[in-house]
């Protein structure tokens, strides 16, 4: 009887443990340590908010082409205020730009938006050799599941990796399933779902290495956590039950 109980205890402990291959990131990093980097420019989508600043050799000449008061002059740095004064891309993919009117920006990169507005200012005789600076203000990602700080995070960088994104959420917990991170992404009206294995470097060559605005990242519980949730809450509870069982067995067999 005692041996049966010990066997049960051993089985529970084994089932509750995760091996190194389930926990360590980039386990083949030494083999694939010279991967080329393929940056991916973000494409503008409906409901994006852009900050666009026009500069000229004659500052006064560029004033009519800039929206906003204090923030346009660089006196206010609040991103939230800049969003209110920014250019909202409507459902048809247009922004309404001062003097120039409606401009289609959907599916353009930030660099392409800058060049398009610059060329329009020049070709229509508004300004000579202006400088146009654009920025996406409301890029955000949502991270859920077995991370230390799930939530929605905004970023202003042109490119951030999935590892940086998970860093915003405080990294995965020890119970996070590292070999099956789920990413959902809307591309041209189609929802795509991909699975990423963080224990291998293969994902660094995929289109999901860099996250895109409005991506959803889901970290499910690993198998030991799921198994423990189906039986008892934690290892301490298991040991308590086993200790009680052993005590009862000893009393009954005396």
The CA-atom distances, in angstroms, between 91 and each of 45, 70, 107, 132 are: 9, 29, 12, 24
Residue 130: closest CA among 74, 62, 66, 64: 62
User: What's the mean pLDDT when you consider all of the chain?
Assistant: 83
Please report which helix (H) or strand (E) contains residue 38, including its range.
none
pLDDT digits (tens, 9 = 90+) for 195-237: 999 999 889 888 999 999 999 999 999 866 666 655 555 556 6
Q: How far apart are CA 3 and CA 21, in angstroms?
A: 31
pLDDT tier, 184 (very low <50, low <70, confident <90, very high otherwise): very high
pLDDT digits (tens, 9 = 90+) for 71-115: 455 555 577 888 888 999 999 999 999 999 999 999 999 999 999
Q: How far apart are CA 89 and CA 103, in angstroms?
A: 10
- Look at the domain 49-136 and name its fold: wza like fold (3.30.1950)
In the CATH hierarchy, which top-level class contains the domain 20-39+139-221?
alpha beta
pLDDT tier, 3 (very low <50, low <70, confident <90, very high otherwise): low
Q: How many CB atoms lie within 10 A of CB 172?
A: 21
C-alpha torsion 78→79→82→87, nearest 10? 180
Six token digits for residue 185: 């992404």
Whether the per-residue pLDDT at 66 is higher than 60: the answer is: yes
Q: How far apart are CA 45 and CA 188, in angstroms?
A: 9
DSSP state of 147: B
- The whole-number average pLDDT for the span 150-159 is 90
Q: How many CB atoms lie within 10 A of CB 106?
A: 17
Strand positions, DSSP E, 71-180: 87-88, 94-97, 101-104, 131-136, 140-145, 151-154
Q: How far apart are CA 147 and CA 35, in angstroms?
A: 27
- Give every CB contact of residue 81 below 8 A, 6+ residues apart in sequence: 71
At residue 182, the 3 state secondary structure works out as strand
C-alpha torsion 112→118→136→183, nearest 10? -10
- Give every CB contact of residue 86 below 8 A, 6+ residues apart in sequence: 49, 50, 51, 52, 67, 137
Q: How far apart are CA 64 and CA 162, in angstroms?
A: 40
pLDDT digits (tens, 9 = 90+) for 119-135: 999 999 999 999 999 99
Residue 205: closest CA among 221, 194, 189, 216: 194
């Amino acid at each position: 009887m005692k041996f049966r109980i010990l066997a049960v205890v051993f089985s529970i402990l084994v089932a509750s443990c995760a091996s190194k291959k389930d926990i360590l990131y980039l386990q083949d990093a030494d083999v694939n340590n010279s991967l080329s980097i393929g940056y991916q420019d973000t494409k503008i989508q409906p409901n994006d908010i852009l900050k666009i600043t026009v500069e000229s050799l004659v500052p006064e000449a560029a004033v009519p082409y800039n929206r906003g008061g204090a923030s346009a002059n660089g006196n206010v740095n609040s991103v939230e205020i800049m969003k209110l004064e920014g250019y909202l891309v409507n459902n048809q993919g247009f922004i309404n730009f001062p003097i120039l009117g409606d401009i289609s920006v959907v599916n353009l990169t930030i660099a392409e938006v800058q060049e398009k507005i610059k060329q329009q200012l020049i070709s229509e005789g508004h300004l000579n050799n202006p400088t146009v600076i654009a920025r996406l203000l409301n890029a955000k990602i949502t991270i859920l599941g077995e991370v230390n700080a799930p939530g929605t995070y905004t970023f202003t960088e042109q490119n951030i990796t999935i590892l940086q994104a998970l860093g915003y959420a405080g990294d995965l917990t020890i119970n996070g399933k590292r070999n099956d991170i789920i990413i959902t992404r809307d591309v041209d009206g189609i929802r795509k779902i991909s699975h990423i294995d963080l224990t291998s470097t293969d994902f660094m060559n995929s289109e999901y290495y860099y996250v895109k605005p409005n991506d959803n990242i889901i970290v499910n519980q690993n198998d030991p956590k799921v198994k423990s949730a189906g039986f008892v809450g934690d290892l301490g509870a298991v040991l308590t039950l086993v200790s009680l069982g052993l005590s009862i067995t000893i009393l009954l067999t005396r």
